Amino acid sequence: MVRSSNPIPLRRGDGDGVGRRPQSHSLLVIALLISASLFLVGASVGATLTVGPDERIQAAIDGAGEGDVVLVEAGVYRERLVVDKGIALQGVASPSITAGGSGSAVTLQAEGASIVGFEIFGSGSEETDAGVKVLAKGCTVEENLVVENGIGILLQAAGGATISNNSVEKNGVGISLMASWENDISYNRISENGEGIRIAKSDASESITASDGGGVSIKYRPKSEAPVLSVSEIGFAAGRKENRVFGNELLNNGVNARDDGENLWHLGNIGNHHSDFDSIEEGCRDRDRDGICDSPLKIPGGYSADGYPVATEDAVLRYRAVSGDFELVLYRSTFSPGQKIPLGFKAPGSFSGRAVLILPAPGPGEGEDGTGAAAGPADAAVSSQILEGEKGTVAFTAPEEEGSYAFLMLDGSGIEIVALPFKVATPALEASTSSAGTCDGVIVNFSGAPGFEGDWIGLFAAGSGDDAPISRQHLDGESAGTRSFAMPSSAGIYDLRLFEDGGQKSLAKSGAVEVEPSAGVRIRASPAAARPGEPITVSFWGAKPASSIGMYEMTSPDKFMLAMQWTSGRSCGTMTFRAPSAPGRYDFRLFEDNVHRKHMGASNVVVVK
Residue 199 near residue 184 (C-beta atoms within 8 A):
no
The lowest-confidence range among 10-19, 148-157, 289-298 is 10-19
Tell whether 97 and 192 lie within a shared domain.
yes
pLDDT at 38 > cutoff 80 = no
Q: Do 467 and 504 fall within a single domain?
A: yes
280 belongs to a structural domain = no
Strand blocks (E) in 361-455: 381-388, 391-397, 403-410, 416-424, 428-431, 435-437, 441-447
**Residue 293 lies inside a defined structural domain of this protein:** no
The CATH number given to whatever domain includes residue 510 is: 2.60.40.2840
Give the domain CATH number at 537. Answer: 2.60.40.10
Question: What is the distance between the alpha carbons of residues 60 and 72, in angstroms, rounded to a whole number?
Answer: 10
Q: Are residues 99 and 199 in the same domain?
A: yes
> At residue 68, does pLDDT exceed 80?
yes
- 82-107 residue pLDDT tens: 999 999 999 999 999 999 999 999 99
Quick one: 339 and 204 in the same domain? no
Using the predicted structure, report yes or no on whether residue 509 has a pLDDT greater than 70.
Answer: yes
479 part of a folded domain: yes
Domain final residue, candidates 399, 424, 449? 424
* Cα gap 183→160, rounded to integer Å: 5
What pLDDT score does 380 carry? Answer: 72
pLDDT exceeds 50 at position 226: no
Instruction: Answer yes or no: is pLDDT of 23 > 90.
Output: no
CATH code, domain carrying 330: 2.60.40.1930
* Residue among 219, 441, 477 nearest 333 (CA): 477
Q: Is 534 a member of any domain?
A: yes
On whether residue 308 sits in a domain, the answer given is: no
On whether both 444 and 494 belong to a single domain, the answer is: yes
If you average pLDDT over every residue of the chain, what do you get?
86
* Structural domain includes residue 575: yes
Answer yes or no: is pLDDT of 607 > 80.
yes
**What local confidence, expressed as pLDDT, does residue 370 receive?**
36
Claim to verify: residue 205 and residue 57 sit in the same structural domain = yes
Whether residue 358 is predicted with pLDDT greater than 50 in this model: the reply is: yes
Is residue 163 pLDDT above 60, yes or no? yes
For residue range 580-595, list pLDDT tens digits in order.
999 999 999 999 987 7
Q: Alpha-carbon distance 113 to 131, whole Å? A: 15
Maximum C-alpha span of the chain: 116
176 pLDDT above the threshold of 80: yes
Would you state the pLDDT for residue 129?
A: 98
Co-location of 531 and 510 in the same domain: no
CA atoms within 13 A on the CB side of 436: 23
The domain boundary residue, chosen from 499, 516, 533:
516
Number of domains in the chain: 4
Tell whether the model's pLDDT for residue 54 goes beyond 60.
Answer: yes
At 84 the pLDDT is 97
* Domain boundary residue, one of 382, 408, 424: 424
Statement to judge: residues 96 and 172 lie in one domain:
yes
In a domain, 594, yes or no: yes
Is residue 541 over pLDDT 50? Answer: yes
Annotate 539-578 with b (16+ C-beta within 10 A) or e (fewer): bbbbbbeebbbbbbeeeeeeeebeeeeebeebbbbebebe
pLDDT surpassing 50 at residue 597: yes
pTM of the model as a whole: 0.72
Whether the upstream peptide bond of residue 360 has omega within 30° of 0, thus cis, is: no
Report d(CA 449, CA 425) in Å as an integer: 8
d(CA 447, CA 427): 6
432 and 573, same domain (yes or no)? no
- Residue 307 domain-assigned? no
Same domain, 107 and 152: yes
Residues 400, 434 within the same domain:
no
Residues 339, 252 share a domain = no
C-alpha angle 295/297/302, rounded to 5°?
140
Q: What is the pLDDT of residues 291-315, one digit of tens each?
A: 999 999 999 999 999 999 999 999 9
* For residue 36, pLDDT beyond 50: no
Range of the domain at 324: 319-362+373-424
